[in-house]
Amino acid sequence: MTIPSPLTAGVDARAHPLIAQLFTKHGATEVDAANFDTFARRAEHTLLLFTEDPVRYRETLDLAVIVPEITKAFGGRFAVGVLLPEAARALHPRYGFRRWPAVVMLKEGQYVGAIDGLRDWDEYGEDIARLLDATPTRPPSVGIAVKDTNESSGACGA
């Protein structure tokens, strides 16, 4: 059975009912570059949902359902912020996760870890518990190729 999407690709993700209810029913905060730092530091732990276009990445809708359940399972031990596609793409390089959509856990604004793509429910439980107990660390970054302007030298950095 196929359920038709109420959206077409590229339309504002907030228009999808499952994304909209993150804000209206579950109390998540919309996070973007302007309020990111303030939001990330507002609670001891912050769970950030990095969304992508829900038509192109249908897993975004799965996480829109899963994140409120994770929040309930952990008794509200973290604030939830949702980065809609444009903001998510802009802030993605800070955290370097490899698959969309993803959740990123911060502690007092510092990176703790990420869960990218979709997982089994048990994996979410184990991973979130581990992230809540983890010490902040340096986030992985998106790899950027470095090219020596003097390639013929054969020496690295020479």
Tens of pLDDT along 59-95? 999 999 999 999 999 998 999 999 999 999 999 999 9
Q: Which domains does the chain have, with CATH numbers?
A: 13-153 (3.40.30.10)
By the 10 Å C-beta count (0-12 exposed, 13-18 middle, 19+ buried), 3 is classed as: exposed
Overall size of the chain counted in residues: 158
- Read off the pLDDT of residues 114-152 as tens digits, 9 standing for 90 and up: 999 999 999 999 999 999 999 999 998 755 545 555 554
Query: Model confidence at 8, in pLDDT bands (50, 70, 90)?
Result: low
Helix (H, G, I), strand (E, B) or coil at 42: coil
Q: Which two tokens stand for residue 136?
A: 């902040």
Nearest to 27 by CA among 60, 87, 84, 67: 67
Which residues have CB under 8 Å from 33's CB, separation 6+? 87, 90, 91
Please give the Cα distance from 22 to 81 (Å, whole number): 9
